């Protein structure tokens, strides 16, 4: 998750996109949801 944060932070400049992507990836059934959610 921290690995994606720095990549999204500079683009948006906020922490919103980071968690939002994690939730979307889970709902959409991302290839590796565990890598994002950490569950």
Determine the structural domain holding residue 9 and report its residue range.
1-28
Asked whether residue 35 is domain-assigned, the answer is: no
So what's the pLDDT on residue 7? Answer: 55
So what's the pLDDT on residue 39? Answer: 46
Asked whether residue 11 is domain-assigned, the answer is: yes
CB 8 within 8 A of CB 24: no
Number of domains in the chain: 1
**Alpha carbon distances (Å) from 33 to 1, 10, 30:** 11, 23, 5
Asked whether residue 21 is domain-assigned, the answer is: yes
pLDDT tens sequence across 3-37: 555 555 555 555 555 566 666 666 665 555 555 55
CB 8 within 8 A of CB 17: yes
Asked whether residue 22 is domain-assigned, the answer is: yes
């Amino acid at each position: 998750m921290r690995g994606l944060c720095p990549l999204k932070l500079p683009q948006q400049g906020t922490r919103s996109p980071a968690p939002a992507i994690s939730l979307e990836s889970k709902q959409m059934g991302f290839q590796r949801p565990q890598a994002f959610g950490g569950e």
